[in-house]
Amino acid sequence: MSARYWTACVATAITVATCAGVAAQTISSAAAGGGRDPLLQGLVYNIVDWQGGPLPRQYERSDQLPLSLDDIRKLSASGFSPASMVKMLEERRCACDASVDALIALKQAGVPEPVIQAVSLHSLQPNRSVYLAVTVDFEGVGGAKEVSAQARKSYLYLIVPDGERERVFVGNLQELLNRVDPDQIVDRTDPLLPRQVRRVLVGAEVPLKVPGPRQALVFTSARPNIYSSADIPEADQAAVQRYELDYPASSIQRLCNLQVLYRQDALLPDSWQLMRTHFQCEWD
C-alpha cells in the first residue's frame, strides 16, 4: 500500500470518526436535554439502514420518434425477430396503450410475448392531463377608438368530455378584459381603419384521464352556471362550435390550444360578438 493511499485512508477514517463522534454527542445532548432525536426528526440519516442492491438498468435511447402499437404489429407481421423488436423498444420506447386489453390484443395478433413484455416496460407514461393554453383576442371597432374594457354579462365556455364526466372551463369576459397584463396589438388588415386588439393569454395543466375520441364544445353564453353540455340553453345551441379530437393513451406532447376572437359592437361598446374560434391539440 502506497504512503499516499495510506494517508488518504487515515484522513478519511479520522473524518468519519470525528463526524460520528459529533453526531453521537449531538444525539446524546438532545436526549439529555429532553429534545427530540435528530434521527427521528429526519435531520440525520443512518445509511447503515439503507438496503443494498443493483442500480437501475440504463438504456441507450434513440432520437427517433417512439413506436406505436401499429408499428409493433407491422414489424411482427414482417418477420422481425423478437430480440430485434425488444431492442427497438428499448431504444425508441412506445407511445402506446399498454393496458391489459391492449396487451391481449397484441397477443391475439401474434406478437411474441417477449415483445409484449417490452411494450409494457418501455411504454411512455400514460396521459392523465394536458396543458391547456387559451388566447382571447378582443378586437375594437377600429379607427382611433380604444378597445372597451367593459363587457355585458357573458361567459366563454369550453366543454371537453372525459369518460363518464365532462370537464367544463369557463371565463367571465369582464374579468378577462380587466386582467392587468394584456397585450395590445394592432390589426392593419384595413389600412384605413386599423383595429386595436386586446389579447389575453392564460394557461394551466388540467386533468384529462380517459383516452379515445371525443368532441369538444366552444361557445358563449349569458348563463354563468353551466356545468355540463346538458345545461347549454337552447338559444345558445346553434352557435356552439364543435371540434373532434382523439386523445392518445400516451404521447410525447400533451398541449391543447384554444384561440378565440371577439369583436366589439359598433353601437354597444360593452357588447362583444364571438366571431370565430379554433381548438387543436398536439401529441407528437
The 10s digit of each residue's pLDDT in 74-111 is 999 999 999 999 999 999 999 999 999 999 999 999 99
Angle among Cα 183, 185, 187 to the nearest 5 degrees reads 150
* Residue 215 phi, psi (nearest 5): -125, 120
How much is the pLDDT for 198?
86
Cell representation of residue 255: 398541449
Cell representation of residue 72: 409493433
Question: 154 with 25, same domain?
Answer: no
Question: Does the pLDDT of residue 176 top 70, yes or no?
Answer: yes
Residue 76 lies in a domain: yes
Strand order across the 195-207 sheet: 183-187, 195-207, 129-139, 255-264, 272-282
Question: Which residues lie below 8 Å from residue 72, measured CB to CB, with a gap of 6+?
Answer: 85, 94, 96, 106, 111, 115, 119
CA–CA separation, 134 and 259 (whole Å): 6
Assign 182 a pLDDT band (cuts: 50, 70, 90).
low
Assign 64 a pLDDT band (cuts: 50, 70, 90).
confident
Strand order across the 241-247 sheet: 165-172, 155-162, 212-221, 241-247
How much is the pLDDT for 10?
35
Question: 138 with 276, same domain?
Answer: yes
Question: 186 with 82, same domain?
Answer: no
Cell representation of residue 226: 353551466
Question: 92 with 171, same domain?
Answer: no
Residue 53 lies in a domain: no
CA–CA separation, 113 and 74 (whole Å): 16
Residue 265 lies in a domain: yes
Residue 64 lies in a domain: no
Question: 138 with 277, same domain?
Answer: yes
How much is the pLDDT for 153?
74
Find the domain containing 20 and state its range: 3-48
Question: 243 with 276, same domain?
Answer: yes
Question: 79 with 154, same domain?
Answer: no
Question: 183 with 202, same domain?
Answer: yes
Question: 207 with 142, same domain?
Answer: yes
Residue 57 lies in a domain: no
Question: Does the pLDDT of residue 180 top 70, yes or no?
Answer: no
Question: Does the pLDDT of residue 61 top 90, yes or no?
Answer: no
Residue 271 lies in a domain: yes
Q: Average pLDDT in the 113-136 region?
A: 94
Question: 111 with 196, same domain?
Answer: no
pTM of the shown model: 0.70
Burial classification of residue 139, based on how many CB atoms lie within 10 Å of its CB (0-12 exposed, 13-18 middle, 19 or more buried): buried
Percent over 70 (pLDDT), the chain:
71
Residue 113 lies in a domain: yes
Question: 135 with 272, same domain?
Answer: yes
Return the higher-pLDDT residue of 82 and 147: 82
User: Which bin fits 114, alpha (ψ -120 to 50), beta or left (φ > 0)?
Assistant: alpha
Question: 80 with 138, same domain?
Answer: no
Residue 143 lies in a domain: yes
Look at the chain and report how many structural domains it folds into: 3
